[in-house]
């Protein structure tokens, strides 16, 4: 039987855009079994190499085939502490699934959807207790509770170290809670995954801005034997064009944080101070831009536009999310970029002046560079403009930690294999080192650092 890939069921586009409920519904048991039956359980599986944390994919899929879901999720948890999250937001198409043998002549096995199925099964059927080594007597401080920090913390706690996580915001989770919207990653899922990790005895101290309330050096002198920094890329970039200071211009970071942490997604229960008007223009082409445009529609914008300076092919956002955005009514202006934002007499945004582009030669990243088309300026009306062109590192920690080497862009310099920084006992990983990347890459960095910190603690 030539069985095709099982599609992920999703809610109808017209109804889903009216609220923040999760769009993708997850596999039924029958679908999961059909999809698992497509896996060839390869002797030399490419899929594992494509996974930044090395999940033993064929083994967990084999457990699904045998309907042994508890064993399946335990297998994933050996390497991945956040399976319900990764099953939802990991770009599997560029990772495990890209290397799946089945993909060579057809469609790869839907590894992410299977991961989500068993992780959700586990959340419904009581979380698993993760095994833990006896106490080592060593203490580690983890700064930041995004995927990098949470993974490092969980692995270190499993190795028997006493771990405290310091988080600047009032809620742990990093971008998982204040960036990625509810309709892609429900907060309840993140909360339950974090609760699972906390069972390892990890303490999470929120409202603790390291660099202000305490410093990395003070953590080291107050009894912590090592520090892991996973503070992410929380500083939004702007375009530096005229009009960016007008009312109604947001960074995507501010816009999504307001929606997520001030609970605009629970409208009308919560009245959140975001005025978006009828027409929203989002500048950028990544996941952050697509999330912002879809969020704007859910906040009752009549039109939501993505303005991107390259073509659809070059968009870095996940294809499935771009497709979902289009189904929901998000509109796209490709090969277009703003040159200035216009305001009214009251200082409120009223339009964006854009320039058209064509694609030239590939740039350093291999993508074809956009070249402006002379005389092609056009005006797009807009009540709100959201800038989603990337984020960089917040300089607070580097400024308050003497001896910590940072790159020209302000990222912490760390050995990619170990997370070791220029400062003894200090390790770092995730977006603060690489610049804005992905959840699983941040987790991979947290994992490598945890292993290196363990080695360091045993030798010191
Ligand atoms: C809107 C949006 C959508 C995305 N969609 C996807 C997706 O679909 N798939 C995907 O794989 N990736 C996606 N990403 C990227 C992904 O979320 C990040 O790469 C990942 O979260 C980085 O993890 P991190 O642990 O390095 O940092 P973060 O998740 O940024 O966590 C850093 C944490 O450190 C805290 N912190 C910062 N400074 C301090 C301080 N001085 N003291 C204490 N705490 C501090 C922050 O408050 C935060 O909680 C998306 C990102 C955004 C913004
Ligand atoms: S490469 Fe594809 S078919 Fe082979 S084991 Fe991995 S998921 Fe299964």
Atom 2 of ligand 2, residue of closest alpha carbon: 100
Query: Residue range 29-44: average pLDDT?
Result: 96
Q: How far is the CA of 91 from the centre of ligand 2 (A)?
A: 17
Atom 4 of ligand 2, residue of closest alpha carbon: 42
User: pLDDT for 389-415, tens place per residue?
Assistant: 999 999 999 999 999 999 999 999 999
Nearest to 237 by CA among 273, 289, 279: 289
Cα separation, 177 vs 190, in Å, equals 7
Cα separation, 304 vs 325, in Å, equals 10
What letter does residue 247 receive in the DSSP assignment?
B
Cα separation, 280 vs 255, in Å, equals 12
Cα separation, 268 vs 283, in Å, equals 27
279 conformational bin, left if phi > 0, alpha if psi -120 to 50, beta if neither: beta
Q: Kindly state the tokens that stand for 323.
A: 């497709």
Which ligand approaches the C-alpha of residue 92 most closely? 1
Query: Residue range 34-63: average pLDDT?
Result: 95
pLDDT at residue number 286: 96
Cβ 18 vs Cβ 32: under 8 Å: no
pLDDT at residue number 129: 62
Give the position, in ligand 1's atom list, of the atom nearest the Cα of 173. 49
Nearest to 359 by CA among 378, 343, 372: 372
What are the φ/ψ torsions at residue 407 (nearest 5 degrees)? -80, 180
Q: How far is the CA of 232 from the centre of ligand 1 (A)?
A: 5
pLDDT at residue number 271: 67
Give the position, in ligand 2's atom list, of the atom nearest the Cα of 45. 1
Point out the least confidently predicted range of 168-177, 264-273, 351-360: 264-273
Give the position, in ligand 2's atom list, of the atom nearest the Cα of 38. 3
pLDDT at residue number 265: 60
pLDDT over 60 (residue 48): yes
Query: Residue range 35-40: average pLDDT?
Result: 96
Query: Residue range 235-263: average pLDDT?
Result: 92
Query: Residue range 211-215: average pLDDT?
Result: 96
Q: Is 397 close to ligand 1, i.e. is its CB under 6 Å away?
A: yes
* Angle, alpha carbons 418-420-424 (nearest 5°): 145
Nearest to 212 by CA among 417, 397, 8: 397
> Cis before residue 98, ω within 30 degrees of 0?
no
Q: Contacts for 359-362 with beta carbons within 8 Å, 24 or more apart? A: 359/310, 359/311, 359/314, 359/335
pLDDT above 70 covers a percentage of the chain that reads: 96
Query: Residue range 216-237: average pLDDT?
Result: 97
pLDDT above 90 covers a percentage of the chain that reads: 87
Name the residue with higher pLDDT: 299 or 328: 328
Q: How far is the CA of 355 from the centre of ligand 1 (A)?
A: 32
Cβ 97 vs Cβ 50: under 8 Å: yes
Name the residue with higher pLDDT: 174 or 275: 174
pLDDT over 90 (residue 176): yes
Cβ 202 vs Cβ 194: under 8 Å: no
pLDDT over 80 (residue 127): no
Cα separation, 147 vs 165, in Å, equals 12
Query: Residue range 298-325: average pLDDT?
Result: 94
pLDDT over 60 (residue 1): no
**Top mutation candidate among 439, 440, 443, 447 for ligand 1, by most atoms within 8 Å of CB:** 439
Q: Is 234 close to ligand 1, i.e. is its CB under 6 Å away?
A: yes
Give the position, in ligand 1's atom list, of the atom nearest the Cα of 175. 29
CA atoms within 13 A on the CB side of 110: 24
Give the position, in ligand 2's atom list, of the atom nearest the Cα of 108. 2
pLDDT at residue number 123: 87
What are the φ/ψ torsions at residue 142 (nearest 5 degrees)? -115, 125
Q: Kindly state the tokens that stand for 421.
A: 């920084």
Ligand 2 is surrounded, with C-beta below 6 A, by 39-42, 45-47, 57-58, 61, 100-102, 109, 111
pLDDT over 70 (residue 263): no
Which ligand approaches the C-alpha of residue 151 most closely? 1
pLDDT at residue number 125: 85
Give the position, in ligand 1's atom list, of the atom nearest the Cα of 394. 38
Q: Is 185 close to ligand 1, i.e. is its CB under 6 Å away?
A: no
Cα separation, 128 vs 114, in Å, equals 18
**Top mutation candidate among 86, 179, 197 for ligand 1, by most atoms within 8 Å of CB:** 179
What are the φ/ψ torsions at residue 192 (nearest 5 degrees)? -70, -35
pLDDT over 80 (residue 365): no
Cα separation, 130 vs 81, in Å, equals 9
**Top mutation candidate among 58, 106, 110 for ligand 2, by most atoms within 8 Å of CB:** 58
pLDDT over 80 (residue 441): yes
* Angle, alpha carbons 68-72-74 (nearest 5°): 120
Q: How far is the CA of 293 from the centre of ligand 1 (A)?
A: 19
Q: Kindly state the tokens that stand for 373.
A: 């088309």
Q: How far is the CA of 58 from the centre of ligand 2 (A)?
A: 6
Q: How far is the CA of 41 from the centre of ligand 2 (A)?
A: 6
Q: Kindly state the tokens that stand for 118.
A: 């068993």
Mean pLDDT over the full length of the chain: 93
Cβ 164 vs Cβ 137: under 8 Å: no
Q: Is 169 close to ligand 1, i.e. is its CB under 6 Å away?
A: yes
Q: Is 235 close to ligand 1, i.e. is its CB under 6 Å away?
A: no
Which ligand approaches the C-alpha of residue 103 most closely? 2
Query: Residue range 345-360: average pLDDT?
Result: 95
Query: Residue range 235-240: average pLDDT?
Result: 95
pLDDT at residue number 268: 66
pLDDT at residue number 136: 95
């Amino acid at each position: 039987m030539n069985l095709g890939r099982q599609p992920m069921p999703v809610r109808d586009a017209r109804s889903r855009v009216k609220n923040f409920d999760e769009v993708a519904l997850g596999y039924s048991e029958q679908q999961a079994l059909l999809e698992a039956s497509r896996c060839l359980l390869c002797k030399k599986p490419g899929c594992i190499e494509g996974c930044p944390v090395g999940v033993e994919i064929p083994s967990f899929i084999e457990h699904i085939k045998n309907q042994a879901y508890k064993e399946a999720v335990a297998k994933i948890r050996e390497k991945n502490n956040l399976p319900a999250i990764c099953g939802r937001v990991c770009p599997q198409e560029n990772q495990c699934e890209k290397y799946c043998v089945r993909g060579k002549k057809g469609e790869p096995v839907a590894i992410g959807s299977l991961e989500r199925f068993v992780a959700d099964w586990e959340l419904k059927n009581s979380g698993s207790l993760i095994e833990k080594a006896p106490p080592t007597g060593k203490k580690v401080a983890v700064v930041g509770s995004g995927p990098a920090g949470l993974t490092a913390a969980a692995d270190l706690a499993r190795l028997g170290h006493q771990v405290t996580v310091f988080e600047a915001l009032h809620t742990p989770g990093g971008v998982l809670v204040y960036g990625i919207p509810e309709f892609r990653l429900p907060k309840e899922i993140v909360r339950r995954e974090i609760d699972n990790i906390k069972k390892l005895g990890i303490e999470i101290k929120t409202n603790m801005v390291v660099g202000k309330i305490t410093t990395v050096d003070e953590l080291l002198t107050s009894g912590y034997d090592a520090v892991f920094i996973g503070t992410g890329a929380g500083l939004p970039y702007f375009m530096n064009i005229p009009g960016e200071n007008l009312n109604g211009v947001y960074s995507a970071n501010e816009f999504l944080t307001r929606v997520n942490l001030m609970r605009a997604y629970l409208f009308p229960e919560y009245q959140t101070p975001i005025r978006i008007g009828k027409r929203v223009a989002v500048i950028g082409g990544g996941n952050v831009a697509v999330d912002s445009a879809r969020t704007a529609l859910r906040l009752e914008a009549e039109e939501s536009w993505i303005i991107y300076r390259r073509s659809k092919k070059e968009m870095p956002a996940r294809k499935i999310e771009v497709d979902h955005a289009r189904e929901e009514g998000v509109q796209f202006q490709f090969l277009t970029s703003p040159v200035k934002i216009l305001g009214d007499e009251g200082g409120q945004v009223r339009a964006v002046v854009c320039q058209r582009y064509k694609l030239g030669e590939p740039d350093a990243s291999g993508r074809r560079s956009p070249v402006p088309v002379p005389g092609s300026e056009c005006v797009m009306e807009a009540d709100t403009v959201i800038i989603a062109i990337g984020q960089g590192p917040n300089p607070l920690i580097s400024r308050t930690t003497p001896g910590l080497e940072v790159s020209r862009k302000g990222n912490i310099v760390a050995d990619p294999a170990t997370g070791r920084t220029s400062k003894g006992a200090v390790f770092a990983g995730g977006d603060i080192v690489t610049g804005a990347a992905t959840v699983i890459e941040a987790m991979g960095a947290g994992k490598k650092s945890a292993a290196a910190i363990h080695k360091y603690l045993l030798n010191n």
